[in-house]
Structure formats: C-alpha cells, structure tokens
Amino acid sequence: MDMHIALVPGDGIGPDIVREAVKVLDRTAEIYGHSIAYSEVDAGGVSIDRCGVPLTDEALKTAAASDAVLLGAVGGPKWDHVPGNLRPEKALLGLRSGLGLFCNLRPAVIYPELSEASPLKPSVISGGVDLLVVRELTGGIYFGEKGRGDDDRSAYDVMRYSAGEIERIARKAFEAARLRRNRVTVVDKANVLETSRLWRETVSRVAEDYSGVELDYMYVDNAAMQLVRNPGHFDVLLTENMFGDILSDEASMITGSIGMLASASLRDDSFGMYEPIHGSAPDIAGMDKANPIATILSAAMMLRYSFSLEKEARAIEEAVSSALSDGIRTRDIAGEGDMVVGTAACGDEIARRLS
C-alpha cells in the first residue's frame, strides 16, 4: 500500500517522539512491503516563531491533502505570553475542526509489566485492562447555545444532538469493537436527559447492522465508579462529548503512565489524526529522555483505523509489549532496579522487535 502521512512534530519533545514513531513505521513498511511518503507540517509554537500564527492555511491544506496525520505535541513556556487566540494549543483546535474530526478514540491499557504504576489495587486489575473510550467531539453541551439571563444571575448551556451525529459515531464504535472484543457500552444519563434517550434509541438501531457485537448501557455515574472498581468489564465505551471528556481522563489515569497513552481523532472516511495524549514536556525536550511509546502506539492506531492494516498495527503493539517484557524502560516508566534507555534507544528496541 502507498501511504501519505503528514507529520506534525510540534514543540518540546514532539520532534523527539515523532522521529521514533517514523522509525517504527518505516521498519513496518519495509517488513510488510508498503511505501510511505511523509510531508512535514509546522504547528504550534514552532509555527508562531516562523509564521506568526499557530497554524497557517497552508499547513492545514498540507495536512488535509494527506491520508492521515501524526502529531507530537504543541506548546511550552516560550509562548506563554502570546495572546489567547494565538496560543500554540489553538493549532490543535484548528486542525481538529479544519479536518472535520468528530470521533475521538482513547485506548487505556494496563500492561502487566507496568501494573505497579496503576493507582488501582492489583486485585482490581489482575484480569487485565484494555478498553477504548469513543467520545463524540463536535456536538453536545460544549457547542450548544449558551448565555446569561437578563439579570446576569442565571446562565444556560444547551445540550443538543441529532440522530445523524449519534449514528455516525456509533458506527465508528461498532467498527472498532469488531476489531477488539465485540462489546460496546453506551454511557449516558438516560434516566434524566432526553439527549441520552435519543442516544439509546439511535445506537440500538445502528446495532442491528453489527450482529455479533454485544451492546449494553450504563449511566455515567455508574461508569465513573466501574472504571475504578472493575475496569476489566469494559471493551468499547461509547459516549457524548462532555461525559467522554471526563471519562477518558479518568480511564487514562488508571493506567498511571502518561507516556504510554495514544489517541486518534477520526471522521466519516478513513482519514484521521493520531497523537499521544501527553503534552510537549518542555522539561525534558531534546534531552533523549521522552517516552516515545504513546506516539508509536498512535502510529499503530493509524495503520489500523486509517489504512485498515490490522496485522501491521498488531505487530507494532506486540513489539511494544515485547520490549516492555524485556525490561526496556524510559525514565518515566522505570521502577527501581530497571535499566533506563533514552528515547532513540527505546525506538530502536521496538523497531528491532518487529516481525
């Protein structure tokens, strides 16, 4: 397959970690007989320095012309003084809205080798944790009508969803479940919210097209509890924007390792943007200390969701597991007595284990 990937290294450790993901992608392409062309795109602080804005129209155009985008991270203290609408983080919003991304995927996996980093008791996670939060990104209360009452002593935010918005993300969730353990849990508040009742009706209708995928429903308050009580219960957790914002952070925290967490933002077609969930870690930028695994796992998600290369995606995930089993650790995930490797050596070790 011929792939065209836009690379957005960004700021801080962004270039360090994207370089390692490219190393792993190139090795994967070599083994499986694919070819990858890259375009490099400036975004964030680096773009402010070069062009005066966090994202130029041209950068967005280059990203849009690719098949998929791999992003490092943006921001840092150097740009703390710039006015709000020019902040580096605006580049992320510009890319997400400019590319029409409405579906956010955030996997949370507890690797047996790193289970000590989880704040949860060993008995709670002993059965393994491997879940995927699918969050709607462009609708709901964050984007509804908002305002103040006349006397300024009341305020409102409207939560609105159309069946079409729910249906398109439900399909993404069912398709993801088919590549996993065939189970979707819709998280809502259908006992009080009308939008949640529309979510249930719509998702149950979409489910008819996905025989073999089990569907259940859970109230969001219960889901927040179950994530810390019995996280192994979940496979794919499908939810609206605000619930997903909160639950995806909670799910991340139960893994305890920020340098390991990947994400994807998708739209209707196969296009997607893939990035680690952590920031630009300016404290360790350019020091060969960053953990590149979140970005490498984001690249694996790219192969799975944008290019339907499941075998290749799994090969990368297995190479990561194998490196962890062999005791390869960057500083952030090292325990006492572990041997610590740098960013580049970590990428080398993963690339070397690909088969």
Per-residue contact string for residues 11-40; x = within reach of ligand NAD by CB under 6 A: --x---------------------------
Told to judge if 188 belongs to the known catalytic residues of this protein, a careful annotator would answer no
The one catalytic residue among 32, 189, 219, 289? 189
Terminal-to-terminal C-alpha distance of the chain = 18
Does position 284 bind ligand NAD by CB under 6 A? yes
Told to judge if 221 belongs to the known catalytic residues of this protein, a careful annotator would answer yes
Nearer to ligand NAD, 10 or 235 (CB): 10
Q: How far is the CB of 286 from ligand NAD (least distance, A)?
A: 12
Q: CB neighbours of 228 closer than 8 A, spacing ≥ 6? A: 120, 124, 250, 254
Does position 245 bind ligand NAD by CB under 6 A? no
Give the tokens for residue 323.
Answer: 């490196």
The one catalytic residue among 57, 221, 283, 326? 221
Strand extents, DSSP E, the chain: 2-10, 35-40, 68-73, 103-110, 129-136, 146-148, 155-157, 183-188, 214-219, 236-239, 262-266, 272-276
Q: H or E segment at 298?
A: helix 293-305
Q: CB neighbours of 232 closer than 8 A, spacing ≥ 6? A: 125, 127, 128, 129
Cβ 188 vs Cβ 220: under 8 Å: yes
Site for ligand NAD in 297-336 (CB under 6 A): 332
Angle (CA) 92-142-177 rounded to 5° is: 75
Does position 258 bind ligand NAD by CB under 6 A? yes
Tell me the C-alpha distance between 100 and 117, whole Å.
Answer: 35
Does position 9 bind ligand NAD by CB under 6 A? no
Told to judge if 189 belongs to the known catalytic residues of this protein, a careful annotator would answer yes
Nearer to ligand NAD, 41 or 159 (CB): 41
Q: How far is the CB of 49 from ligand NAD (least distance, A)?
A: 14
Does position 350 bind ligand NAD by CB under 6 A? no
What is the Cα Rg of the chain in Å?
20
Q: Using CB under 6 A, which of 90, 278, 329, 353 touches ligand NAD?
A: 278
Active-site residue list: 142, 189, 221, 245, 249
Which residues of the shown chain bind ligand NAD in the complex (CB under 6 A)?
A: 13, 73-76, 89, 92, 258-259, 275, 278-284, 290-291, 294, 332
